[in-house]
Amino acid sequence: MDRLTAMRVFTEVAERGSLTAAAQRLDMSRAMVSRYLAELEAWLGTRLLHRTTRAVSLTDAGNDALPRCREMLGIADDLACASQADSTPRGLLRVACSTSLAQAFLAAAVTRFIVRHPGVAIDLVVADRTIDLVDERIDLAIRVTSEPSPGLIARRLATCHSVVCAAPSYLQRHGTPERAEDLALHNCLTYTYFGKSLWQFTHNGAPLGVPVGGNLSANEVIAVFAATLAGAGISLQPVYSALPHLRDGTLRALLPDYVPREMTIYGVYISRKQMPSALRALLDDLVEQFRTGLFEDTGYPGRRPSPSKPPAPPAPGASSD
């Protein structure tokens, strides 16, 4: 538990007399405010607030604790102001992401960041599950999703494109699907938490959901990706994982007229209040690295050019005929 944040939550609730008002002031969800209060009470071993459906009031223990919490927060704020006099990013950040994203991009990205900012240390937590930022003291989580978690601050980093692909060996044995509906005739390898039985596409400007099934499903894309490379079936992969193999021919992109549903890569964190300069610097740096990295460089054999992008100008001296 972040005890200073819990104390800040408690003082806001005490001053405003409302969990909802405190949540709005702190830019948190009401559920997160309740959680911080419960954890602070558990740590102190006493009840701090009387709560009814209409009002919140302090217990005797809460009245005793409130001035001490204010004193602690004042000391912490003074220290923060003193440290911000030197704007150089410094300190430890705990950053969480999935295994596939760490391997494809993030491990190298944070390495470049700490080379540029030697005063910052990063503890990279790689896990193939949704991590609770409060419980596991995570400063920043990088998540690929269509909808960020309510109660967290989310900063968009990039679009995550996907591609339907297979190894040439699989296609030689089973043929190449020409339409999305043909996937019903193929062994489709799926991801437990995304598109396990229905793959979503846009085709000729219209949404299309295609039922799929196969003999392998896994809770992380790496296992599905390895099986795809081995020729076990067709899978829907993030382009950031598949791109090198699409370019060297060990995977082939399929169904170029069908665009898989896009996801968004977000950096999510708990609150903008008292945001460390190191975290702000890392987020700004990642925005730039995602913009200039492979997430904007998605050209590969078998991909239709985006109609929204103008064609590249001809090379100097080239004919325009």
Query: CA–CA separation, 180 vs 201, rounded Å?
Result: 9
Q: Is the per-residue pLDDT at 231 higher than 90?
A: yes
Please indicate, yes or no, whether residues 189 and 239 belong to a single structural domain of this protein. yes
Q: Is 213 exposed, middle or buried (0-12, 13-18, 19+ CB in 10 A)?
A: middle
* Assigned domain for 205 exists: yes
Considering 59, 82, 105, which residue would you say is the last residue of a domain?
82
- 167's tokens: 């190894």
* Assigned domain for 308 exists: no
Helices (H) and strands (E) in the chain, counts: 10, 15
**pLDDT by residue (tens digit) across 93-112?**
999 999 889 988 999 999 99
Please indicate, yes or no, whether residues 38 and 100 belong to a single structural domain of this protein. no
- Position 210: which residue type? V
Confidence of residue 311 (pLDDT cuts 50, 70, 90): very low
Please indicate, yes or no, whether residues 66 and 123 belong to a single structural domain of this protein. no
Please indicate, yes or no, whether residues 174 and 244 belong to a single structural domain of this protein. yes
Q: Is the per-residue pLDDT at 25 higher than 50?
A: yes
Supply the pLDDT for residue 274. Answer: 66
* Assigned domain for 27 exists: yes
pTM of the full structure: 0.66
123 in helix, strand or coil? strand
Residue 254, domain CATH: 3.40.190.290
The string of DSSP letters for 190-256 reads EETTBSSSEEEEEETTEEEEEE---S-EESSHHHHHHHHHTTS-EEEEEHHHHHHHHHHTSSEE--T
Supply the pLDDT for residue 321. Answer: 32
Residue 150, domain CATH: 3.40.190.10
At residue 23, φ and ψ (nearest 5 deg) are -60, -40
The total of other beta-carbon atoms located within 10 Å of residue 109's CB is 22
Please indicate, yes or no, whether residues 103 and 124 belong to a single structural domain of this protein. yes
Mean pLDDT across 16-37: 87
**pLDDT by residue (tens digit) across 32-64?**
899 999 999 999 999 999 887 777 889 999 999
> Dihedral of CA 288/291/297/298: which sign?
positive
177 in helix, strand or coil? coil
Query: CA–CA separation, 220 vs 312, rounded Å?
Result: 37
Find, among 139, 144, 156, 153, the residue nearest to 95 by Cα. 139
Query: CA–CA separation, 44 vs 37, rounded Å?
Result: 11
Confidence of residue 297 (pLDDT cuts 50, 70, 90): low
Q: Is the per-residue pLDDT at 288 higher than 80?
A: yes
- 120's tokens: 């910052």
Please indicate, yes or no, whether residues 104 and 52 belong to a single structural domain of this protein. no
The total of other beta-carbon atoms located within 10 Å of residue 221's CB is 28
Supply the pLDDT for residue 281. Answer: 94
Supply the pLDDT for residue 204. Answer: 92
Cβ pair 40, 2 in contact under 8 A = no
* Assigned domain for 303 exists: no
* Assigned domain for 60 exists: yes
**pLDDT by residue (tens digit) across 173-215?**
999 999 999 999 999 999 887 666 899 999 999 999 999 999 9
Q: What mean pLDDT, rounded, does the chain reach?
A: 85
Query: CA–CA separation, 71 vs 276, rounded Å?
Result: 21
Considering 82, 105, 136, which residue would you say is the last residue of a domain?
82
Considering 25, 54, 82, which residue would you say is the last residue of a domain?
82
> Dihedral of CA 246/252/256/259: which sign?
negative
Q: Write out the residue range of the structural domain in which residue 59 sits.
A: 3-82
Q: Is the per-residue pLDDT at 77 higher than 90?
A: no
Number of independent structural domains in the chain: 3
Confidence of residue 22 (pLDDT cuts 50, 70, 90): confident
**pLDDT by residue (tens digit) across 113-159?**
999 999 999 999 998 788 888 878 899 999 988 887 777 889 999 98
Supply the pLDDT for residue 130. Answer: 80
Query: CA–CA separation, 84 vs 73, rounded Å?
Result: 16
Please indicate, yes or no, whether residues 45 and 125 belong to a single structural domain of this protein. no
Please indicate, yes or no, whether residues 209 and 238 belong to a single structural domain of this protein. yes
Supply the pLDDT for residue 187. Answer: 97
Supply the pLDDT for residue 1. Answer: 60
Please indicate, yes or no, whether residues 246 and 278 belong to a single structural domain of this protein. no
Please indicate, yes or no, whether residues 171 and 255 belong to a single structural domain of this protein. yes
